[in-house]
Amino acid sequence: MDVSVENPGGLKRRLKVQIPAERVNSAVDEKIQRAGQHARIPGFRPGKAPKKVLYQRYGAQARQEALSELVQSTYPEAVEQSELNPAGQPDIELDEFAEDGTLSFTASFDVYPEIELKGLDSLAIEKPITEVTEANVENTLERIKDQNKSWEEVDRESADGDQVVVDYVGRIDGEAFEGGTAEDMEITLGEQQFLPDMERALVGRKPGEECQIDVSFPDDYGAEELAGKTATFDVTVKSVKEAKPAELDEEFIKQMGVEEGTEEALRAKIRESLEQEAKHAVDTSMKTQTMDALYEANPIEVPESMVAQEIDRMRKEAMQRMPQEMQQNEEQAKQLLPDDALREQAEKRVALGLLIAEVISEKELELDQDKVSEKMDEVASGYGDQAEAVKNYYQQNPQMMQGLQAMVMEQQVVDQLLENAEITDKETELDELLNANSQG
């Protein structure tokens, strides 16, 4: 078998393979013989038909099957002979048969880049140093009270922060339009969750007041039939409501999962939760910085086939995070999230995956099963009484376990790199740290 390699550029390779006619004919003959053992051909006893007759009846099919099997079996041989390291599945194209019966095919694929790790002893990392203060606890407590607020009707003009309940009918050129009518619509002023012109115009209104409000829809408004147009809304303000923060009584505190029912116990739980969040945010920051530093110190070319797979994976992940009613079919998803919008991040993910694998190989890291168990306990603890069921689910689901193991191994790589990194402490406000973590 003759094998030659062409290098079109970058990580692309073309493997040209020639299979001798003798091997091709032998494979076809074997197929014919197998077919003849059970063939029932008029005029001949089972299995006794002449070879010429068998070729006439089964030759084309036998040749097609033999060629397919030959390509599948010789491709790995050719890769080994060429000493290449393919990244992903090849595109295989059969060439025309030579007159002597030689079979030729071309396999095109990407190869993995050759990686020589650099800069592992000079990674510069800033470790966020933060503390949970009483002000942090107080702010969190106020947010909890606000999130559980109730609304109380008031007899005064509306202001930002109030909730107004309205009926309205919208018209364009005197004609009502679809979606422009509502009853008992609750609008919280200042949240900018509704039409901006409408929100602004509802400030300073009293219960029972009727008014007309002109609303200009932006040119890029989601509903094409309304984009760039101005509608007039006839609005009736039915009520104005003022926010009333939740009372920190015993019943409310117990609803927050604090059995003691005291404000002191609630504050202690808030502090504990914030400290856990802070620790997680510090770990995440350190990991992100380490991966970014590894990536920047080791720019590598990445296989296009792997980037394409990662783009598809990222697009599917993004679609799954959307509400059910907003999820798209594959073609619509590509229009919403085109390849170009995902390429840069996909290339980085692929590069980091290759770099991490190289660190594991170079440092001879092995998966720490104790850390896998610790990680499983950590994940399961978030499910309360269902913790054991969650752990059983992971243990019985190979795909879930592989994901968990990958997380642990990635953290082992981070820990290994941090051993030799230059780490400096950076005083950081808790809110800044948590916000940076949520945005990352």
**Domain residue extents for the chain:** 2-111, 124-132+253-439, 150-244
Question: What is the rounded CA–CA span in Å between residue 309 and residue 35?
Answer: 41
Residue 329 has pLDDT above 90, yes or no: no
Fold of 124-132+253-439: Trigger factor, domain 2 (1.10.3120)
Residue 324 has pLDDT above 60, yes or no: yes
Instruction: Classify domain 150-244 by CATH number.
Output: 3.10.50.40
How would you class 424 by CB atoms within 10 Å of its CB: exposed for 0-12, middle for 13-18, buried for 19 or more?
A: exposed
At 88, list the tokens. Answer: 């992903």
* pLDDT, average across residues 57-77: 81
Token pair 């991040």 is found at: 345
Instruction: Classify domain 2-111 by CATH number.
Output: 3.30.70.1050
Token pair 């945005």 is found at: 439
| DSSP per position, 229-243 | -EEEEEEEEEEEEEE
The per-residue pLDDT for 76 is: 92
Q: What would the pLDDT profile of 377-402 be if each residue is shown by its tens digit?
A: 989 988 888 989 999 999 999 999 99
Q: What would the pLDDT profile of 172-213 be if each residue is shown by its tens digit?
A: 999 999 889 999 999 999 988 888 899 999 999 999 999 999
Q: Which residue has the higher pLDDT, 67 or 151?
A: 151
Ordered strands of the 12-19 beta sheet = 2-9, 12-19, 103-111, 86-94
Q: What would the pLDDT profile of 4-40 be if each residue is shown by its tens digit?
A: 999 999 999 999 999 888 888 888 777 777 665 666 6
At 98, list the tokens. Answer: 């030579």
Residue 272 has pLDDT above 90, yes or no: yes
**Which residues share a beta bridge with 14?**
6, 108
The per-residue pLDDT for 224 is: 83
5 contacts 13 by C-beta, under 8 angstroms: yes
Residue 133 has pLDDT above 80, yes or no: yes
The per-residue pLDDT for 49 is: 61
Residue 344 has pLDDT above 70, yes or no: yes
Question: What is the rounded CA–CA span in Å between residue 335 and residue 341?
Answer: 10
The per-residue pLDDT for 166 is: 96
Q: State the average pLDDT for the chain.
A: 89
